[in-house]
Chains A and B, each alone.
Chain A
Amino acid sequence: SAVISQKPSRDICQRGTSLTIQCQVDSQVTMMFWYRQQPGQSLTLIATANQGSEATYESGFVIDKFPISRPNLTFSTLTVSNMSPEDSSIYLCSVSRGLGTDTQYFGPGTRLTVL
């Protein structure tokens, strides 16, 4: 398994502002992912954070809205830009150690409320 921490754990933000969420893992991992979980819904993959290159975004998510960094094998950030109330959600970081069918482990999540 992996020990994953996220900062902040929760935040309340004003419309039009941006928030950067940090994800730190206790050991090097190959894959890091960012998910969104809206109230009462399941998890939706936003993007795969690639170390040393641009993130791979899923359909419906764009880099201008959700810029992602991954400077090394243990750390990634997700920024939610120009926020609106529709961005209110739980944002989750997950990691896996290898390619192929490898279990993903999740961080505790960041609960974001946009007013």
Chain B
Amino acid sequence: EDQVTQSPEALRLQEGESSSLNCSYTVSGLRGLFWYRQDPGKGPEFLFTLYSAGEEKEKERLKATLTKKESFLHITAPKPEDSATYLCAVHGMNRDDKIIFGKGTRLHILP
């Protein structure tokens, strides 16, 4: 069964303190891995799609990387406005053809 596990569940950082969020996955063949940002009371906002191990994508202070077992979302010199829940989702070559979401990491950046 396909699984997605995100860690940590919550993370508090000082403004400017870089860190990484982890998304570990188990799928029978990866079609794609997605990162979303979700602010309280709002729908998830798309950030990145990664398709193969070794791939990296960047957007402002965020960089997503992918290996065969996990993905990292690196946050460099974060600002308070980066505070949100970050969701990871995977699309595997499963029979159901569904995208499976992790439970997310709640990130809080202190000014």
Contact = CB atoms under 8 A, between A and B. Distances in A.
A42 B98 contact: no
Given A101-B31, A103-B34, A104-B99, A42 B104 contact: yes
B41 interface: yes
B102 to A, nearest CB: 6
A108 B42 contact: yes
B74 interface: no
Contact of A42 (B31, B41, B102): B102
Interface string B88-106: 0101000000110111100
Contacts, number: 45
Interface string B62-77: 0000000000000000
Interface residues of A, number: 20
Contact of A101 (B32, B42, B43, B46): B32
B87 A45 contact: no
Given A41-B103, A43-B87, A109 B32 contact: no
Interface in B26-46: 31-32, 34, 36, 41-46
B49 interface: yes
A108 B43 contact: yes
Interface of A: 1, 4, 41-43, 45, 58, 90, 92, 94, 100-101, 103-109, 111
Interface of B: 31-32, 34, 36, 41-46, 49, 51, 87, 89, 91, 98-99, 101-104
Given A43-B101, A106-B44, 6 more contacts: A42-B101, A43-B87, A58-B98, A92-B43, A94-B43, A108-B43
25 contacts: A1-B46, A41-B103, A42-B101, A42-B102, A43-B87, A45-B98, A58-B98, A90-B41, A92-B43, A92-B44, A94-B43, A101-B31, A101-B91, A103-B46, A104-B46, A104-B99, A105-B46, A106-B36, A106-B44, A106-B46, A107-B43, A108-B42, A108-B43, A109-B42, A111-B41
